Amino acid sequence: MKKRLRKKLHKAEFKELGFELQFDLPDSTLSQDDYLEFCLRFLKEAIEENGLLCVGGIGVGGRLMIVKQSRGSVTEEQRAIVVNWLNNEPLVQNVRVGEFRDAWYGPKSLDYSDVFMR
């Protein structure tokens, strides 16, 4: 495969890595306003301010895929910042962080389409 096509398809030396993230929020004690406020703070402080994007759902049973906003891979430092932010948040419980994996061609078992169909 030619270099131009590898770049376009995010293959070989142009592969971009991200990581999966899961955490729980208390579903019985959290008001809708508190949930929204938490989500906005998480997206602004932990994700956007670190040049990242996320796809998925937040809360009980929610899964997120964290990727870089621009071309390239998420760094160890960026992953650590997100995890530390969650660990310092009193609402968050049971943080689970996945290994780095291909953000474009990851496991076929992960399907985030259900998140957008609700």
Which residues, including other chains, have CB under 8 Å from residue 45's CB and lie 6 or more apart? 85
pLDDT tens per residue across span 9-22: 777 777 888 999 99
Amino acid sitting at position 118:
R
- Alpha carbon dihedral 99, 80, 103, 24, in 10-degree steps, equals 80
What pLDDT, on the 0 to 100 scale, is given for residue 59? 67
Predicted TM-score (pTM) of this structure: 0.80
What pLDDT, on the 0 to 100 scale, is given for residue 60? 63
What pLDDT, on the 0 to 100 scale, is given for residue 62? 72
Neighbouring C-beta atoms of residue 47, cutoff 10 Å: 19
Q: Which residues of the chain have pLDDT under 50?
A: 109-118
What pLDDT, on the 0 to 100 scale, is given for residue 109? 47
Q: Would strands 63-68 and 17-24 be described as parallel, antiparallel, or unpaired?
A: antiparallel
What pLDDT, on the 0 to 100 scale, is given for residue 91? 87
What pLDDT, on the 0 to 100 scale, is given for residue 1? 86
The domain locations on the chain are 31-116
